[in-house]
């Protein structure tokens, strides 16, 4: 009976919901906003954290062949000279001759999205790196860059990780963190911003095994989005043609999501060959190789890299989850987020403000809080409170009523089916945990 909203309204509806309920806000809003930056509010910070935790769980926690890393955001020019970013990390910038707006040439199909003109200046290569200075003295030696991707931290620490963890190929290094790109046209809410979060993993393999692992990671990463509740028809793989590959890549496949404005990239999986380790070895003079004692062979591993955006994935999860349906003549907004991604897994709701009910509710709350994020809401009718929880994606509501005082049981109400079941307080935590996957 769910009635889906039309796609053209979806972006606006989700962005409005985000603002109204506290998922994300335009940054520095009281000063008129700041260049498409966003701040994540009380609900959004939970979702974003959950997205990153779900990634970490699948990529690090559940494996023995991947270890984690948290590298510095600021780095010296040497890293970015070796990686090729100083030279080639550019987008083609054009100016509209009529309205003077600036655009990224490869994103506009020859027509100015602002005024419709098709007259542009020649494209210039615009470097996307944010440059700053480290320390109080200006000058060349003080130049630093904010990283535009997390990946380089894994390459520059390759030898450290190898020496400290005794790993051998195939093995990976994973990192989640902020990256910065001076995007020409940030757009579509949190889809493309200048400050964003990435979830990247560099998987080092023996060169003859690179293609097998490349296929493996494409499949594994695609399955991750499905397991977290995105419908298969909303996802597809797009393999880049050889002529479109980045300078380092021997093969790239994107996981794409059906965004309201069309298919667009969620994540790229690339076979980077030995490009990065070779570049850094040459530039630093430090050997970045693996010596295989079994075969007495020394080689530079190839790298398979699944590179995803955490903030961008959050946007896709919200869009995929948003639904409006008519229930008893009224529109119900429901975010069908996977329980692991929802801002709260449970809302604890005393039926009325009577002190005995509130006391028992607080007892229930403290039983659940060690396990899951809980909301606690005592205001307005229970029907309204259910709707408020539906709208933010809370999978389960626990209602404490007057019978609860007698039988120490509570009502557990399911977001998706709206079905209600009675559960003893003693079994509550176990029941709830069993319904999270």
Please, what is the minimum distance in Å from the beta carbon of residue 265 to ligand ATP? Answer: 5
Q: Which is nearer to ligand ATP, 266 or 396 (CB)?
A: 266
Rounded to an integer, what distance in angstroms lies between the CA atom of residue 363 and that of residue 360?
Answer: 5
Rounded distance between C-alpha atoms, residue 258 and residue 401, angstroms? 43
Closest contact distance (angstroms) between CB of 309 and ligand ATP is 2
Report the largest interatomic distance among the alpha carbons of the chain, rounded to a whole angstrom. 78
Which of 266/288 has CB closer to ligand ATP? 266
Cβ-based nearer residue to ligand ATP, 51 or 428 = 51
Nearest Cα to 305, choosing from 341, 264, 263, 275?
275
Pull the structure tokens for residue 84. 């090729």
Q: Specify the DSSP class assigned to residue 111.
A: S
- 333 neighbors 324 (Cβ within 8 angstroms): yes
Is residue 80 within 8 A of residue 86, CB to CB? The reply is yes
Tokens 């069309």 appear where? 262
Cβ at position 132, least distance to ligand ATP in Å: 18
312/388 with CB nearer ligand ATP: 312
Q: Which of residues 174-193 bind ligand ATP (CB under 6 A)?
A: 181, 183, 192-193
Question: Would you say 253 or 411 has its CB closer to ligand ATP?
Answer: 253
Count of positions (residues) in the chain = 437
Mask of contacts with ligand ATP, 353-392, x by CB under 6 A? ----------------------------------------
User: Is the torsion defined by CA of 141, 146, 148, 149 positive or negative?
Assistant: positive
In sequence order, what are the residues at sequence separation of 6 or more whose Cβ sits closer than 8 angstroms to the Cβ of residue 272? 202, 248, 249, 250, 302, 303, 304, 305
- Total residues interacting with ligand ATP, rule: CB under 6 A: 16
Residue 80 in the binding site for ligand ATP (CB under 6 A): no
Of 169, 170, 177, 268, the one binding ligand ATP by CB under 6 A: 268
Q: Which among 41-49, 134-142, 203-211, 260-268 is the span making contact with ligand ATP, rule CB under 6 A? A: 260-268
312 vs 340, beta carbon nearer ligand ATP: 312
On the question of a cis peptide bond just before residue 170, with omega within 30 degrees of 0, the verdict is yes
Contact 194, 36 (CB under 8 A): yes
What is the distance between the alpha carbons of residues 212 and 233, in angstroms, rounded to a whole number? 26
- The smaller minimum CB distance to ligand ATP, of residues 183 and 375, is found at 183
Distance CA 198, CA 178 (A): 6
Nearer Cβ to ligand ATP, position 86 or 423?
86
Q: Does 266 bind ligand ATP (CB under 6 A)?
A: yes
Number of H helices and E strands in the chain, helices first, is 13, 25
Which one of 267, 289, 375, 377 is in contact with ligand ATP (CB under 6 A)? 267
- Least spacing, CB of residue 380 vs ligand ATP, in Å: 37
Interface with ligand ATP, residue 46, by CB under 6 A: no
Please report how close the Cβ of residue 194 comes to ligand ATP at its closest, in angstroms. Answer: 7
- What is the C-alpha to C-alpha distance for residues 289 and 139, in angstroms, rounded to an integer? 35
Q: How far is the CB of 428 from ligand ATP (least distance, A)?
A: 38
Q: Which residue is nearest to ligand ATP (CB)?
A: 309
3-state secondary structure of 288: coil
Residue 215 tokens read as 């296929």
Minimum CB–partner distance for residue 26 and ligand ATP (Å): 15
Q: Report the residue number, 193 or 411, with the smaller CB distance to ligand ATP.
A: 193
Which of 196, 213, 214, 302 touches ligand ATP by CB under 6 A?
A: 196
Binding mask 292-321 for ligand ATP (x = CB under 6 A): ---------------xxx-xx---------
Cβ neighbours around 28 below 10 Å, total: 12
Question: C-beta of 256: minimal distance to ligand ATP in Å?
Answer: 9
Closest to ligand ATP by CB, 147 or 181 = 181
Beta bridge partners of 104: 93
Give just the sign of the alpha carbon dihedral 277, 278, 283, 288: positive
Which residues contact ligand ATP by CB under 6 A?
Answer: 149, 181, 183, 192-193, 196, 198, 265-268, 307-309, 311-312
């Amino acid at each position: 009976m769910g009635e889906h909203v039309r796609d053209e309204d979806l972006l606006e509806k989700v962005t409005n919901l985000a603002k109204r309920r506290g998922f994300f806000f335009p940054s520095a809003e009281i000063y008129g906003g700041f260049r498409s930056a966003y701040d994540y509010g009380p609900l959004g910070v939970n979702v974003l954290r959950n997205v990153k935790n779900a990634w970490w769980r699948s990529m690090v926690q559940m494996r023995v062949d991947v270890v984690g890393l948290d590298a510095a955001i600021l780095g010296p020019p040497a890293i970015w000279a070796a990686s090729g970013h100083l030279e080639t990390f550019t987008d083609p910038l054009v100016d509209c001759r009529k309205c003077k707006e600036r655009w990224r040439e490869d994103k506009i199909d020859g027509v100015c999205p602002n005024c419709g003109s098709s007259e542009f200046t020649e494209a210039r290569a615009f470097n996307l790196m944010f440059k700053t200075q480290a320390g109080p003295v200006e000058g060349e030696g003080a130049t630093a860059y904010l990283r535009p991707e997390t990946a380089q931290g894994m390459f520059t620490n390759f030898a450290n990780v190898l020496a400290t963890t005794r790993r051998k190929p195939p093995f990976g290094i994973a990192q989640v963190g902020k990256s910065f790109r001076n995007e020409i046209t940030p757009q579509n809410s949190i889809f493309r911003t200048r400050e964003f979060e990435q979830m990247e993993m560099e998987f080092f393999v023996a060169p003859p095994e690179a293609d097998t692992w490349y296929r493996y990671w494409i499949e594994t990463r695609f399955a991750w989005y499905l397991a977290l509740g995105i419908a298969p028809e909303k996802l597809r793989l797009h393999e880049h043609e050889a002529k479109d590959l980045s300078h380092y890549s021997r093969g790239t496949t994107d996981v794409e999501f059906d965004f309201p404005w069309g298919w667009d990239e969620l994540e790229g999986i690339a076979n980077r060959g030995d490009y990065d380790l070779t570049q850094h070895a040459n530039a630093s003079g430090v050997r970045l190789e693996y010596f295989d004692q079994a075969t007495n062979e020394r080689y530079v591993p190839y790298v398979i890299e699944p590179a995803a955006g955490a903030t961008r994935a959050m946007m896709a999860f919200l869009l995929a989850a948003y639904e409006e349906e008519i229930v008893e003549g009224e529109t119900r907004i429901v975010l069908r987020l996977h329980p692991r991604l929802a801002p709260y897994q449970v809302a604890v709701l005393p039926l009325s403000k009577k002190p005995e009910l509130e006391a028992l509710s607080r007892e229930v709350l403290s039983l659940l809080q060690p396990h899951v994020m809980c909301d606690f809401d005592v205001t307005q009718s229970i029907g309204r409170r259910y709707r408020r929880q539906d709208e933010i994606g809370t999978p389960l509501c626990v209602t404490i009523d007057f019978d609860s005082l007698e039988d120490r049981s509570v009502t557990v109400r399911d977001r998706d089916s709206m079905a209600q079941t009675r559960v003893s307080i003693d079994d509550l935590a176990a029941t709830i945990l069993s319904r999270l996957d």
